[in-house]
Amino acid sequence: MDLIEEIKKRSSHVDKGIEEYLPIDKPYELYKAARYLPDAGGKRLRPATVILAAEAVGSDLETVLPAAVAVELVHNFTLVHDDIMDRDDIRRGMPAVHVKWGEAGAILAGDTLYSKAFEILTHASGEPERILKCIDILSKACRDICEGQWMDVEFEDRNDVTKEEYLEMIEKKTGVLYAASMQIGAILGGSSEEVSDAFYEFGRLIGIAFQIYDDVIDMTTPEEILGKVRGSDLMEGKKTLIAIHALNKGVELRIFGKGEATTEEINEAVQQLEDAGSIGYVRDLALNYIAKGKELLNIVDDSESKTILLAVADYMITRSY
């Protein structure tokens, strides 16, 4: 099975759904700005998992397509606002929204994506009670994302960030949207509450693993594959789980918060982290989250969609960028 091809099969429908549910209307520049990132593509993992969860409980793509589009628009809304806050000028290899339309334009574009997501979600097929439940789940996920982002910003000025705080932050920033995607797909697909709760937990766990494995990728992937300087998180002084583990063990990382470093200094820091067991610790933790998540899908019968979802879980910790 080619996982990327299976994701593309479903994401092509999401692409068409974005065109249908988010047309470029008046005022044209606002909707051009709102469509800018969604039209740029991306992996579409989150909307694909909405569809796959529905399929895994016996439903089909058409039932949940509006929900899949809604989830993708929420994801893009967070990216637009993140780029403003982080002063990141490039996204998906293109100028960020705030570079092209200014900060005010980007804020409005992000807000439009957020608002349209909930409007579009109401177009999903199913009983009103199930749709209302999905609106509740997605709204709470958006709240958690904001809380997680606030925590992330707050951590920049703290030297005492704990492992527990870090895991809570990444659960909110990343895990909850994967969790909401899976649960919404299962609910609209007609599953029981027990099954939809299992899908939520599956999404939460693999979402956390996805984010903490980013720490490993940042330290171990060659620059030409990574697309950025290796060890950039350390140089920026980010309180990643690898850094927290190493600093708690008394490792003195010369490049931490330095802003820039030579290749030799980066290699030295990576070796320090390997010797301290920090990289291995985070890698093992990610593997543990994935294993726990995959067990939860035993609640549904084997199917092609379930197999793909299990492969998505593995992809979270086998990707190289």
132 has a pLDDT exceeding 90: yes
CATH homologous superfamily of 3-315: Farnesyl Diphosphate Synthase (1.10.600.10)
For position 157, what pLDDT does the model report? Answer: 86
Q: CA 230, CA 268: separation in Å to the nearest integer?
A: 12
Helix (H) or strand (E) holding 165: helix 163-170
How confident is the model over 59-63, as a mean pLDDT? 93
250 has a pLDDT exceeding 80: yes
For position 117, what pLDDT does the model report? Answer: 98
* Sign of the Cα pseudo-torsion (316, 319, 320, 321, in order): negative
For position 229, what pLDDT does the model report? Answer: 74
Q: Are 283 and 216 in contact (CB under 8 A)?
A: yes
Q: Is-above-0.75 flag for pTM?
A: yes
Q: CA 222, CA 132: separation in Å to the nearest integer?
A: 46
How confident is the model over 220-244, as a mean pLDDT? 82
The pLDDT tens digits for 25-50 are: 999 999 999 999 999 988 899 999 99
Q: Are 246 and 216 in contact (CB under 8 A)?
A: no
- 3-state secondary structure (DSSP) of residue 95: strand
The pLDDT tens digits for 266-314 are: 889 989 999 999 999 999 999 999 999 999 999 999 999 999 999 999 9
Domain boundaries, the chain: 3-315
CA dihedral 288, 289, 291, 296 (to 10 degrees): 150
Q: Is the peptide bond before 27 cis (omega within 30 degrees of 0)?
A: yes
